[in-house]
Structure formats: C-alpha cells, structure tokens
Amino acid sequence: MMRLICLLALVLTHTVSEAATEAKATIHVVRSGDTLSEIAQRYGVKIAQISTWNRLDRDRIYAGQRLKLWLSGDWYRVRSGDTLSGIAQRFSTSTAQLRRFNVLSTDLLSVGQKLALRAAPPASTSTNRSSTTYTVRRGDTLSRIAQQHKVSLTDLREWNGARSDDIRPGQTLHVQDPTLPASPETGENSYTVRRGDTLSEIAQRADIALSLLRRINGLQSDAIYPGQSLRLRPTQLDEAVHVVQQGETLSQIAQRYRIGLSTLRSINAISNDRIYPGQKLRLRQASSAVHIVERGDALWEIARAYGLRVDDLKALNDLRSNRIYPGQELKLSAASTPQYATYSVRSGDYLGEIARLHQMSLAELRTLNGIKGSVIHPGDQLKVRPLRWLEISEIDWSALSISHEKTFDLPNGPYYGSRPKAATQRSKTYYENHPHSPLKTYRKAEKLWRQFQQKVNGMGQLSDDLKGWHIVLDPGHGGLDPGAIAQTIDGNGDKLYVAEDEYVFDIALRIYVLLRLHGAEVTMTMLSPNHLIRHNTPPAVTFVNEKNEVYNSLAHNRRNTVRDWPRGGNLATRVHIARAALSNAPKGRRVFLSFHADIDHNAPEAPLVLYYENRIRKKRDDPSRRFAQSLLSALGAGARTRGQGLGVLRNNPADVKVLIEMRNMAYKDHVWALRFEELRHRDAEKVVRGLLDYAHSKELSARR
C-alpha cells in the first residue's frame, strides 16, 4: 500500500513538474520609469494579458511591484478533462485566439495534444534586421509558422529545402525567399534605440508618421532611451475595425482590443451581444475632423473625399510619403468645422450598410441624423461622411447604356439579348450553361462590344495622360470556370453568393472605360454576349454564374469546339490575345493586368499584386516587380506585392505585367464589398490611379 502511495505521489509530482515547465509564470520586478507597454514589448505579450494576470487597476504599476508573466506557456499539453474554453480562461486568452494559433476548426481536443497558447513573435534571433528568418520554438509546427508569416506552406518548404514538415526547436527557418533582398513592403517591424537617436528621426527613416509611432508604442512624449525596443509598424490590434470571425463573441472582441464591452456596444449600436461572422465592428469613434484609415484606404482618395490636396493632407499629418497604415488617424483640417455629405436612401438600404459604406459607426450615423431606431425610408436624406468615391466619379455612366432589340433592365442588369433564368445566384454550385456555340456567342459578344466602344468614344476625354499607352485587361476565369464562389450574408442574415468571374469582369469594364477616357488604347481578353457594366440594387440581388463568356479572339473561336470555351488551364490563350494586341505598341508602354478575387486564407486581407517569379530557376521579372510596388500607394493601406510563377504572366509580351487580387473572398467582409457597385467602382479607380501615377513617373524619368 505504501509503495502504491509513493508511486502515485511520484506520478503526481512528475505531472505537476511537467505542467510547470510547460506554463510557468515569470516574475518581473517593476523598476522606476517602467511602463506597461514597454514591459509587454520586452516579453512579447499583450498589455491586456498583463492586466488580467495581475488584476491591475487601470494599468497602474509602481516601482518594486512583482508582475506575473506567463511566458514559457508558449504551448500546453492537453490533459484528461480539459476543454478549450477552460484552457483559454486559465491562460488569459480566448477560445477564438486558441483556434487561430492552432488552426483548429472545432473545439474538440485529444489527450496529449499540444496547443500553442500565443502567436509566435515576429522577431527572430537572426541578425538580418528585415526579419526574413524565424527561430523555431517548442510546440511550433511548419503550417502554423507559414500562417503567422503570411506565406504558403509550399513556399516555406521550398525556401528551406524541407522534404517533410518535421522541425526542431532552435532551428532557423527562412520565412522570406532567401534569394531576394528585403522588399520595402515587408520592411522592418521593430527597432532598438541607439545613443543619439531621436523619435522624429526614427519615424522619418521608417516612413511612418510621428503621431502613429507614438501611439503604437504607448508613448506620451518623444522621450526615448538607448536599448528601448520600438514597434515600427502597427498590427491588427491597432486597427479601427474588426470583422467578426466564426465562433467569436462580443466580450472576447472587447477583451482582445482592450475596450469596455458597453463601449463596444455603444459605438456599434448593439443592444444585445448578438453578432454574426462577417459583421464589421468599429473599435474607435472619431471626430468629423479626423479620418481613421481602414484597410484599402489610399491617401489620394481620402484627400479627394474631403476636398483637400494630397500635399496639404501630408503636411497636416507630418507624412513624408503617400504610405499610410490601417488604424492611423489622419487630421483632415486645421479648422474644426464638420464636413458632411448627403446620402439619399434607396429601396433596400438599411442603416448598417449606409454606415459601413461611409466608414462611420452606426452610433455616429444615428446621432448625426437624430435617428433613434432603425427605420428609414427611400428618399430620406442622411448626413454622412463625405467619401466621394461612392459617387462613382463625375462620369455620366448612364450614357453607356446601349440600344438593343431585347433589353432586360433587371436589378442585377441590364442584360441584352438574353437574361439569366435565376433572379440571383442561388448557391455555391448553381450555374447556367452557355446557350449557343462558341462562335455564335463570340459574334453576339463582338456586336455588343462594338456598340459599347462607340458609346465610350462619344464621352470625350478626362485627360490624355495615357496617350500612347497600350493596356490589356484580363478578367480572371470566365466561361466554364467561375473561379471562387463565396458565401456571405446580408443585414437580415440571409445567405448570398458571389461568383468571382462575374464581379471581376464588372471591375475590368469600369477600368476599361476610365483608361479610355485618359487616352489609352485598351484591349479586353474576355467578352460577354449579354451584359456590359451592371448594377445590382439592392446588393442582395447578386450576379448569376453564367458560363457564356468567350475569349476576345475570332481566331480562337473559329474552330467552334467545346474546348474554345474559357476554362481554368487555358492561360496561353490570354497571352496570345495580349501578344496580338501589343504587337504594334511602342516598347516601354505595354501593360498587362489580370484581375481576380481569390479565396486564400494565407493571403492578406488587402489587395495583393503578383509579379512573375520562378524561385526554383531563380528567375524574376524585375520591371514588373517595380511596377507592382508602384501601385501600392494607389491601392491603399495594407496592399502587398509578391512574386509567383503564374502562367498568365510567363512569356507575356507586355513590358510590365501583374495579376491583382482585388479582393480576398476568404474574408467575408470582402465578399460583402464586391456586391456594391460603389465599392467595385472604387476598386477600379484605384487601379487607374496607380497606372496614371506610374505613367507620370515614367514621363519624369524620360525628361531627366
């Protein structure tokens, strides 16, 4: 009996010892001058976690205070009786974060399973200051490291010559292609202060506004000291909006961003705690003299929206370039006079959508207009923030409607000649087949296109800035291949479905018109036989997946076989069309743009511009890479570039060629945005602005 008791005691001691090694508190003794934000940065944890662990009152700390920090709890081994919510509570995190850290699809756990308790820190032990390497920690997996560094698992294996996913603690991994220099869009994320540094000099070198640098580091003044670690880039926790993910609760979101639950309810006019995936919650209020940058906001369009010059907006906010970041607060005017525009309510509108379109909180919209409930009526005039990109520019788009013997003016139209059988996209798998042969369909599409071109020719010009430029626009997918089809919900909780090819075709058509009005020669790789630019009012009436698009090439469709319908792998045809269109174009002014709206959870929640790169053969299209980087400021905050071996860019005759993922439908908020004509047009104008900026820079270089 005594032997059994000793054995049980030994087992218990071993179990407690193992638990202690896996999750043991580190004690930090507060010194004079310490701040909570500096302590959090030093140990790689969140301020909210330190506050929760130590039950701090308003984050107050004092010299000599002993703070518990759960650091070695990078991971935890599941034991019998454990639940995900219990583990989350024990380590002051949330179930949503545990799911994200461990890529869990459910809350089911197995005894002995290793759980990461926090995200791996972005820094590594590498001396490369661009953070291109990462040192493996206990409990890491290759897939989790790939997810945290926003790279694909395939690339991560390739860069490190890995034949399997086995890794070991202490191993150094390349998390960026080692054959490439650090690019400006990745840059440095942190900096250790040296003797003689000033905060303003660091801000200038890092290309970040001084006010933003202060805010993300919790600094009340510009005083810094040698050895101090400064964050140079904001994270998602610094942003002003949060898109609700599956399984999240309002209290978890409030805790994550260190906001009072009642405050979060008030900002978003939520009477109870009911939220739904894809819902966009605002995390901060702003006065009418401040604009809080959201992902995708560009400096030029913010300036235009509020009637300011870009240079004045930069001077007002101490900006040295056009680079801005999500969550950044921009002063709009030295004067405090409120600036508002008027929005006329349309049938099918509801307050939540109107607030979201104008980057306002629901509480702000209600207060501004004296609305107590949610009832609005078509024709009501509401004061809103003056984001003029929603006015779909100053062009008379109704002038592009064409005369046709059969016109169907539907809520998701107009359609010419034929219309979809369904009123809206019914499901992820629903589609309507092509009604004719490829050749007959091409003839119908070509006739429709000629009429459209005549209408565009009659609209005059906005400028001749792109005169002499030849641009090929390639709407992704089409025909037999719809691309991604994603599900979202409207404000009433009803399911909606968005087909990638239908929406990127609409965006490409808008870009076509704008480029022509700036003097460019433009060719489309794809045509449709029954629709041009479409509207969908209300946005709940989605475009239907019709498999009737054809390649814009008589030579291709002349064979008139089922193979002639566009499909996923037939990228060479798009390159062939580009080669024919650019054959007589002047060298140096030939551009190819392919448009997509991918569904990739490993890609950023922002526009992604891809240029051609074959890492195995170490071949990279450097002119296109520079072109891709030049588009970023026009595409807006958070936009990225990346090299990839894409077939539509390989052997392409254009001087510069890129594929732009306009939206990422892995994020429900992007699916939501694609349904709105105003936001699709905003995406189009961003691309055109980027091309205009690129053309101007080329002209300046030529003059020098």
- The string of pLDDT tens digits covering residues 643-701 is 999 999 999 999 999 999 999 998 888 898 899 898 999 999 999 999 999 999 888 66
Is the distance from CB of 541 to CB of 412 less than 8 angstroms?
A: yes
- Which helix (DSSP H) or strand (DSSP E) does residue 143 occupy? helix 142-148
For domain 340-391, the CATH architecture is Roll (3.10)
**Residues above pLDDT 90, as percent of the chain:** 34
**What CA–CA distance (Å, rounded) separates 662 from 674?**
10
Give the other-Cβ count within 10 Å of 562's Cβ: 10
Predicted confidence at residue 663, as pLDDT, reads 93
Predicted confidence at residue 380, as pLDDT, reads 92
**Mean per-residue pLDDT for 464-473?**
96
Of the candidate ranges 22-26, 303-307, 501-505, 578-582, the one whose mean pLDDT is the lowest: 22-26
CATH of the domain spanning 401-703, picked from 3.40.50.2300, 3.20.20.70, 3.40.50.720, 3.40.630.40: 3.40.630.40
Tell whether the model's pLDDT for residue 632 goes beyond 60: yes
DSSP-derived secondary structure letter, 399: G
Instruction: With both helix axes pointing from N to C terminus, report the angle between 36-43 and 47-54 in degrees, rounded to the nearest 10.
Output: 100
Give start and end residues of each alpha helix (H) in 402-499.
438-457
Amino acid at 108: L
For domain 190-233, the CATH architecture is Roll (3.10)
Q: Model confidence over 329-355: pLDDT tens digits?
A: 998 876 545 578 888 888 778 888 888
Predicted confidence at residue 612, as pLDDT, reads 96
pLDDT, averaged across the chain? 82
Instruction: pLDDT band for 497, please (50, 70, 90 cuts).
Output: very high
First to last CA, the chain: 94
Q: Which two tokens stand for residue 627?
A: 């072109």
Q: Which two tokens stand for residue 581?
A: 């269109």
Tell whether the model's pLDDT for residue 530 goes beyond 90: yes
Give the other-Cβ count within 10 Å of 65's Cβ: 14
**What CA–CA distance (Å, rounded) separates 13 from 4?**
14
> Which of 489, 483, 496 has its CA nearest to residue 424?
496
Close Cβ partners of 170 (under 8 Å, ≥ 6 residues apart): 135, 136
**Mean per-residue pLDDT for 456-481?**
94
Q: Give domain limits for the chain.
A: 123-182, 190-233, 340-391, 401-703
Of the candidate ranges 176-180, 317-321, 645-649, the one whose mean pLDDT is the lowest: 176-180
Is the distance from CB of 22 to CB of 78 less than 8 angstroms?
A: no
DSSP-derived secondary structure letter, 543: P
How far does CA 70 lie from the centroid of its chain? 32
Predicted confidence at residue 489, as pLDDT, reads 81
CATH of the domain spanning 123-182, picked from 3.90.75.20, 3.30.70.60, 3.10.350.10, 3.30.360.10: 3.10.350.10
DSSP calls for 668-701: HHHHHHHT-HHHHHHHHHHHHHHHHHHHHHHHHH
User: According to the per-residue pLDDT averaged within each range, which of 39-53, 483-497, 651-665 is highest?
Assistant: 651-665
**Mean per-residue pLDDT for 292-298?**
89
Q: Model confidence over 413-456: pLDDT tens digits?
A: 999 999 999 999 999 999 999 888 999 999 999 999 999 999 99
**What CA–CA distance (Å, rounded) separates 319 from 327?**
15
Predicted confidence at residue 464, as pLDDT, reads 92
Query: Matching CATH topology for 123-182 and 401-703?
Result: no
**Mean per-residue pLDDT for 389-401?**
73
Between residues 202 and 336, the one the model is more confident about: 202
> How many CA within 13 A on the CB side of residue 252?
20
Predicted confidence at residue 388, as pLDDT, reads 56
Give the other-Cβ count within 10 Å of 473's Cβ: 25
Q: How far apart, in Å, are the Cα atoms of 88 and each of 27, 101, 120, 247?
A: 21, 12, 17, 14
Q: Is 641 helix (H, G, I), strand (E, B) or coil?
A: strand
